Structure 1
Amino acid sequence: MSDKEMKLVDIKLSADQTEGTQATVAQWLKRTGEQVVKDEPIIELETDKVMMEVVAPVDGVLHEKLVLEGEPAEENKILGTIDETGVSNPSNEIKTDTNLEDRAETTPNNVSIDLPRKDPTAGLPNPPSTFISPAVRRLSQQHNIDLNQIQGSGKNHRITSRDIKAYLATSPNDHATAAPALAAQVEPTAAGSEIIPHTQMRKIIAEHMQHSVQTAPHVTSVFDLDLSAIIKHRKSHKQAFADQGVKLTFTAYFVAAAVQAIKHQPKINSQFHEHGLEVFKHVNLGFGTALGDDGLIVPVIQQAQNMNLMQIAAELTRLTDKARNNQLSQKEVQGGTFTISNHGVSGSLVATPIIINQPQSAILGLGKMEKRVVVEEHNGQDMMVIKPMCYISLTIDHRALDAYQTNDFLSHFKAVIEAWQ
């Protein structure tokens, strides 16, 4: 069929899929010339937040790959094309010698096509009702992995190559056949040292952090916070929340107080533009969740300004569980207008500056809770008393905000927490 007779449809990312987040093609799930079905996953993308899939916009044949594995996938950039009128050539299904695997040729008209490849996992049982990509099949056989032991992070819990690598990273000693592959990833540079290659998530996090520091002048203000009131309230209400299946954490109080402080000082919940400051009426509040050595992810509580403490606690529980099981969807990490970093859970008293989650204007830091001696005045006399305290900080984009808005927000946040009923 000539090019004139083809009906080519572009494969693109929409704005709501990326929302400014940098994405990289992790793998193509289809070969050039292979039949595709509308809404079938054909590309696997990796961001600093989640793994996501691009689906076929139409039925047809994958005609061309324009963005290859490891290359950036930008908003509205054409990733490839599908010939809506094409029919898959039977030769695409022919198994060939292993030396052809992962090779590609270029036709005279510069259309890249994949050579037929041998499937090294023919006969390998798949989890029921789960699509397994060729890359996942190869990894699972290479490392002798039972795929039923892995919880997939892709759409409909489909297993991705990153799931396989994460599984190997957590239990490398359980897979004797994995040693050669792991050894190839860790190369000694000198006696007593080694190079551990960056994951794609770590690379994107690094770029995001560097961009934030280069973009916004960071300034941090630190306050002391008395936690007595919320500790008392939590002790009285924790069981009632649990009876409704909700875990009442201290973070829930911090989220609720942050919303109240934003209502008092709305400019904190903003984004800086060259022509003006965009102040949001909604509070989509992100909270940093550590993933161990894999990095950090920031789930977002959407429309937090409309929630009470029970609703906030329930959403925190749901999103935290999904984050730790690598099951967050792209929408659940998008749209944040303000972020909380509860760095104190790992023992930190003060962290400064906490890097702003661009393009937001501020990030709230919460230090470790500890009992400290403080001085209070009783009946005209100073007395030393023991209080459960922590340090709170607000790091701002000094282009957008000044000390007045910063300290006004922290003062109100402090007042809400310390007077909690």
Structure 2
Amino acid sequence: MAKFTFNMPDVGEGVAEAEIVEWHVKVGDRVEEDQHLVDVMTDKATIDIESPVAGVVTQLAGEVGDTIAIGAMLLVIEADGEVSEAQAEAAAEQIEHDMSDADEADVAPAPEPVQDEPAAAPAPAVPAPVATAHKVLASPAVRQRARDLGIDLAQVKPAEDGRVRHGDLDAFLAYNAGSGFAPSGKPRADEAIKVIGLRKRIAQNMAAAKRHIPHFTYVEECDVTDLETLRAQLNEGRGDRPKLTMLPLLITAICKVIPQFPMINARYDDEAGVVTRYGSVHLGMAAQTDSGLMVPVIRDAQSRNLWQLAREIGRLAEAARTGKASSDELSGSTLTVTSLGPLGGVATTPVINRPEVAIIGPNRIVERPMFVPDGMGGERIAKRKLMNISISCDHRVVDGHDAASFIQGVKRLIETPALLLVD
């Protein structure tokens, strides 16, 4: 038997530490060679670390959410046999090699968030029982149920021998049902959830974006009735091509207008004081996954037609959902579109995907009455499909007039959708 100290491997230039995301073993567990030990996250990727030796775990470096410096002890294993220095070095080199290949594996790095996500509904608080003025006779189970229901046992009249029973609680609830006392449901226990992994990266990036970027948001209403009609017509004859959603049409409009407003399709290096305006539109597409918000990138969106955009949107969304998006597919965007689809709300104020300088948020389509030309010089009321488009911009780089003019250009195209199909 020999003690084997497994240190955090060097994962590449510029990486000084890694965060523990999930332990798959505990002290006292027996592990075999190549058994999955722990998941760690660096700035580049989430990595599965496997055991280089067989033995028993005797020490772990920290808990989930802790950060471990490169070269520091990760865990200690009491190995079955002697572990030579050469074997230990070979094991570390193999893991370093595996981790350096993470960008090409089916493991996605933490993306920068692009939009304030809807806040999770807080867990309902457990009602605090009211203090009683005198001791009430009741079993522990009855007392616990009364606490869960927020009932003061002193207010419950026992049916016999002065002891409150479950039947007395039922009678109390039935008597007070008409007064609104009856609870709407059993309360859940409070939860304390440690912020780790991708959620931690999202929190850090979002805070950095709001801290460094002076945001402003502009919202415009667009009539998409004719655009929706065109979309339905195109889908009817699509054959084996992917079904068109609103997003490819909106992206096409954005790419057609961008050349007139190059300051929108840009990235700002505030440390160097340099704004880079890009000729190609590498469009970030916010995608919700079980792990959190990811932003896969549609490369050269301006060079793709509607069907090519629809196919690439579907491919990237699936890769993000299944955790198979590569590092290249999750980086390098120059402008981002974020949409909640039918949940999009009336208007949004999305957070910029730093270091980009703008983010566009289409909102929910709603039907409302509008005054429209009647063809005889007057107006009539008609049911129309309306959608608000939001844009948040970095006010250090983009002026309000430019942002408004850009959205007006997009509005003109989507309200006259035939223009989307011509050069």
TM, length-normalised to structure 2? 0.60
Q: Which amino acid aligns with 2:399?
A: D
Matched residue SS, 2:308: helix
User: 8 Å contact 1:285–1:340 — kept in the other structure?
Assistant: yes
Provide the rounded CA distance (Å) in 1 between the counterparts of 2:12 and 2:23: 14
* Aligned equivalent of 2:205: 208
AA at the equivalent of 1:403: G
The 1:45–1:113 alpha-carbon spacing in structure 2 relative to 1, beyond 3 Å, is closer
Q: Does 1:358 align with 2:360?
A: no
Distance 1:356 1:49, change over 3 A: farther
1:319 pairs with 2:316? yes
Q: Does 1:263 align with 2:259?
A: yes
Q: Tell me if the contact between 2:106 and 2:326 (Cα under 8 Å) persists in the aligned partners.
A: no
Number of the residue aligned with 1:309:
306
Matches within 5 A, 1:9-408: 11-13=10-12, 24=19, 26=21, 46=41, 51=46, 93=53, 95-96=55-56, 98=57, 100-102=58-60, 112=73, 115-117=76-78, 157=106, 192-241=189-238, 243-274=239-270, 275-292=273-290, 294-352=291-349, 354-378=350-374, 379-408=376-405
Describe the shift of the 1:94–1:259 C-alpha distance in structure 2 as closer, same or farther (beyond 3 A): closer
- Retained in 2: the 8 A contact 1:51–1:154? no
CA separation of 1:53/1:252 partners in 2, compared to 1, >3 Å: closer, same or farther?
A: farther
The 1:339/1:52 distance shift into structure 2, 3 A limit, reads farther
Q: Equivalent pairs: percent with the same residue?
A: 25
Change (3 A) 1:305 1:53: farther
Structure 2 SS opposite 1:310: helix
Spell out, residue by residue over 1:213-253, the C-alpha distance to the aligned partner (whole angstroms, 9 max, x if none): 11111111111111122212221121443x33423111111
* Superposed displacement of residue 51, structure 1: 3.4
Contact 1:26 1:46 in 2 (8 A): yes
**Partner secondary structure for residue 77 of structure 2:** coil
The 3 A distance-change label for structure 1 pair 226 and 158 is closer
Q: What is the deviation of 1:211?
A: 0.7
Paired with 1:214 and 1:290, the residues of 2 have a C-alpha distance of: 24
Q: What is the RMSD computed on CA atoms of the aligned residues?
A: 4.0
Contact 1:218–1:398 (Cα < 8 Å) also in 2:
yes
User: What SS is found at the alignment partner of 1:267?
Assistant: coil
In structure 2, the CA distance between the partners of 1:418 and 1:208, relative to structure 1 (3 Å rule), is same
Q: Indicate if the aligned counterparts of 2:221 and 2:387 stay in contact, CA closer than 8 A.
A: yes
**2:371–2:380 Cα contact (<8 Å) kept:** yes
Change (3 A) 1:24 1:266: farther
State whether residues 106 and 325 of structure 2, in contact with CA within 8 Å, keep that contact through their aligned partners in structure 1.
Answer: no
Distance 1:358 1:338 in 2: 10
Distance 1:45 1:391 in 2: 41
Whole-angstrom distance in 1 between the partners of 2:215 and 2:294: 21
Q: Would the aligned equivalents of 2:45 and 2:107 in 1 still touch at CA under 8 Å?
A: no
Q: Match for 1:115: what amino acid?
A: V
Query: Which string of whole-angstrom CA distances, capped at 9 and with x for unpartnered residues, describes residues 299-334 of structure 1?
Result: 110111211111111100101111222221111110
Q: Note the C-alpha offset of 1:54.
A: 10
Contact 1:222–1:391 at 8 Å: present in 2 too?
yes
Rounded to whole Å, the distance in 1 between the matches of 2:366 and 2:223 is 10
Query: Is the 2:105–2:326 contact (alpha carbons within 8 Å) kept by the matching residues of 1?
Result: no
Query: Normalising by structure 1, what TM-score?
Result: 0.60
Preserved CA contact (<8 Å) 2:255 2:301: yes
Unaligned runs of 5+ in 2: 1-8, 25-32, 63-70, 81-93, 96-101, 110-186, 419-423
Give the AA of the match of 1:95: G
Q: Distance in 2 between matches of 1:54 and 1:281?
A: 41
Pairwise CA distance, 1:45:
5.1
Distance 2:234 2:310 in 1: 12
How far is 1:13 from its partner?
3.1
* Cα distance between partner residues in 1 of 2:247 and 2:45: 23
1:111–1:372 CA distance, 2 compared to 1 (3 A) = closer
Q: Which has the larger radius of gyration?
A: 2
CA–CA distance in 2 between the matches of 1:213 and 1:296? Answer: 17
Q: Per chain length, whose mean CA-contact separation is higher, i.e. which structure has more relative contact order (CA < 8 Å, sep 6+)?
A: 2
Q: Contact (CA 8 Å) 1:362, 1:397: kept in 2 or not?
A: yes
Q: Report the CA distance shift for 1:314/1:225 in structure 2 as closer, same or farther (over 3 A).
A: same
Q: Secondary structure at the match of 1:116?
A: strand
The one-letter amino acid paired with 2:359 is I
User: 1:388-412, CA deviations, whole angstroms, 9 ceiling, x for partnerless residues?
Assistant: 1110011100000111210111011
2:411 to 409, 414, 418: 414
| Distance in 2 between residues matched to 1:42 and 1:95, nearest whole Å | 12
1:194 alignment partner AA:
E
The size of the alignment, in residue pairs, is: 292
What SS is found at the alignment partner of 1:410? helix
Q: 1:313 to 1:301 in 2, by over 3 A?
A: same
